[in-house]
C-alpha cells in the first residue's frame, strides 16, 4: 500500500520570516504507520518546495498512491481541498483523506464544499489513520 502525504502550498507570510519548517503532522503519522509495517510512504512538501498545481499533479501521477492524505489549518483549507481535487483528477482510485485542526471542527462544511474528500480524520490521527 502506497501512502502519499502532501503539505499544501499555503503561505501565511508572517510566521515564515524564520524560514521553512518540517511539518510535524507528517512525522507523527508516518512514524506510527512505519511501526505498523507500512513503509511505502512518500511526502510531498508543496509548501516548502512551492509546487504549482501542475507540479503536484505530475508528482501524484508518477507515484500512483493508494491513499493521499493532506492537512489544513483554517487559512490553508482551500489549498488543502485543491490538493485532494487534483488527486481525484489524476489518481481517481486513491482514497482521499483530510486531517488537521480545521477539518476536525468544520467537517460538515468541508465535506459539503469539497465532496471529493472521502474521509476526514478528526483529532489526533495516528491510530485512526492506521486503522
Say whether residue 11 binds ligand B12 (CB under 6 A): yes
Q: Which residues contact 98 (CB under 8 A, 6 or more apart)?
A: 69, 70, 71, 72, 80, 81, 84, 110, 117, 119, 120, 121
Smallest distance, ligand B12 to C-beta of residue 69, A: 3
Say whether residue 97 binds ligand B12 (CB under 6 A): yes
Q: Which residues contact 30 (CB under 8 A, 6 or more apart)?
A: 5, 41, 43
Say whether residue 101 binds ligand B12 (CB under 6 A): yes
Choose the binding region for ligand B12 from 9-17, 50-58, 83-91, 110-118 (rule: CB under 6 A).
9-17
Cell match 465532496: residue?
Answer: 115
Interface with ligand B12 (CB under 6 A), residue from 57, 73, 90, 111? 73
Say whether residue 78 binds ligand B12 (CB under 6 A): no
Choose the binding region for ligand B12 from 38-46, 55-63, 72-80, 87-95 (rule: CB under 6 A).
72-80
Cell match 499544501: residue?
Answer: 8
Binding mask 48-67 for ligand B12 (x = CB under 6 A): --------------------
Closest by CA position to 94, among listed 61, 58, 126, 52: 61
Burial of 18 (0-12, 13-18, 19+ CB in 10 A): exposed
State which residue, 19 or 92, has the beta carbon closest to ligand B12: 19
Amino acid at each position: 500500500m502506497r501512502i502519499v502525504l502532501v503539505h499544501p502550498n499555503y503561505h501565511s507570510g508572517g510566521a515564515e520570516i524564520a524560514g521553512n519548517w518540517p511539518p510535524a503532522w507528517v512525522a507523527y503519522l508516518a512514524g506510527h504507520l512505519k511501526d505498523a509495517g507500512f513503509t511505502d510512504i512518500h511526502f510531498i512538501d508543496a509548501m516548502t518546495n512551492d509546487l504549482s498545481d501542475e507540479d503536484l499533479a505530475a508528482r501524484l501521477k508518477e507515484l500512483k498512491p493508494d491513499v493521499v492524505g493532506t492537512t489544513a489549518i483554517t487559512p490553508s483549507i482551500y489549498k488543502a481541498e485543491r490538493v485532494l481535487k487534483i488527486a481525484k483528477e489524476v489518481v481517481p482510485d486513491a482514497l482521499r483523506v483530510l486531517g488537521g485542526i480545521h477539518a476536525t471542527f468544520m467537517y460538515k462544511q468541508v465535506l459539503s464544499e469539497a465532496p471529493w474528500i472521502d474521509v476526514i480524520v478528526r483529532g489526533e490521527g495516528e491510530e485512526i489513520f492506521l486503522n
